[in-house]
Amino acid sequence: MVIRKLNSCKNMEEKIEKLPENGKQAEAIKRVEEEWKKKGDQEELLLRWGELLYAEGKMTEGLNKFNAVLRLNPENQKARNYVTMINNILGYFCKDLLNP
């Protein structure tokens, strides 16, 4: 039973990974959100969600996901790099957004 659940999770992750490659970013984001509703806050799921949002140009939403990853694991370097990069971009282009 446990093995079946693990295989099911792997299959879902593989399907989600292939969607953006096929130009289906929005569908991939929707699927990740559905998985999050089922499983809750999981580091890898939130990180993937943030990456998908970032790739769609939804930087502030992606930033929220990366910060959620850092709350779960402050040592996650990939999430930390995205947070730094997004903050630099937003600080340059959207000063009013960050400093009303």
- The CA-based diameter of the chain, rounded to the nearest angstrom, is 52
Nearest CA to 52 among 35, 38, 77, 33? Answer: 33
- Give the structural domain span for 31: 2-98
Q: In this structure, what CATH number is given to the domain that contains residue 26?
A: 1.25.40.10
Kindly report the pTM of this predicted structure: 0.71
pLDDT in tens, 1-60: 444 444 444 555 555 555 555 467 889 999 999 999 999 889 999 999 999 999 999 999
pLDDT given at position 11? 53
- Report the number of distinct structural domains present in the chain: 1
Cβ–Cβ under 8 Å, residues 60 and 97: yes
pLDDT given at position 70? 97
Q: What does 80-99 look like in DSSP terms, one character per residue? A: HHHHHHHHHHHHHH-HHHH-
Cβ–Cβ under 8 Å, residues 85 and 97: no
Cβ–Cβ under 8 Å, residues 65 and 47: yes
